[in-house]
Amino acid sequence: MTADSPGVSDPKALRSVKLLHTVVWALFAGCIVALPVFVFRGQMRVAWILVAIVTLEVAVLLANRFRCPLTGVAARYTDDRRANFDIYLPEWLARQNKLIFGTLFVAGVLYAAVQSMRG
């Protein structure tokens, strides 16, 4: 089902929510991917800022039963409930998103912690 498929009550609104969700996702995914790079470069202040940014997002997810608040907004505009109904990502990535990026984030935080302890 696309934003123009039957079962979509407001295709323009759904496209807007999906675009916003994708941009927000890309920002947080970028923080997670950049984290070990900044640790490797010894830029620990930037690394810990990235950890703080992503931790705030994790708090938002926890407060919403591990769902992005934008998922609920997108759900108002479609009956589709595939893993990527609310975001412009391949379905496999949307389905595995938390596992992939959660693992990368935890690894990045551990790397940052170890490097911080080494001084």
- CA–CA separation, 17 vs 51, rounded Å? 26
**pTM across the whole model:** 0.89
Distance CA 69, CA 84 (A): 14
What pLDDT, on a 0 to 100 scale, did the predictor assign at position 5?
Answer: 59
Between the alpha carbon of residue 78 and those of residues 7, 15, 40, 57, the distances in Å are 6, 11, 43, 25
Rounded CA separation 86/80 (Å): 9
Backbone CA torsion sign across 66, 32, 85, 15: positive
**Domain extents in the chain:** 11-118
pLDDT at position 78 is 95
32-90: per-residue pLDDT in tens? 999 999 999 999 999 999 999 999 999 999 999 999 999 999 999 999 999 999 999 99
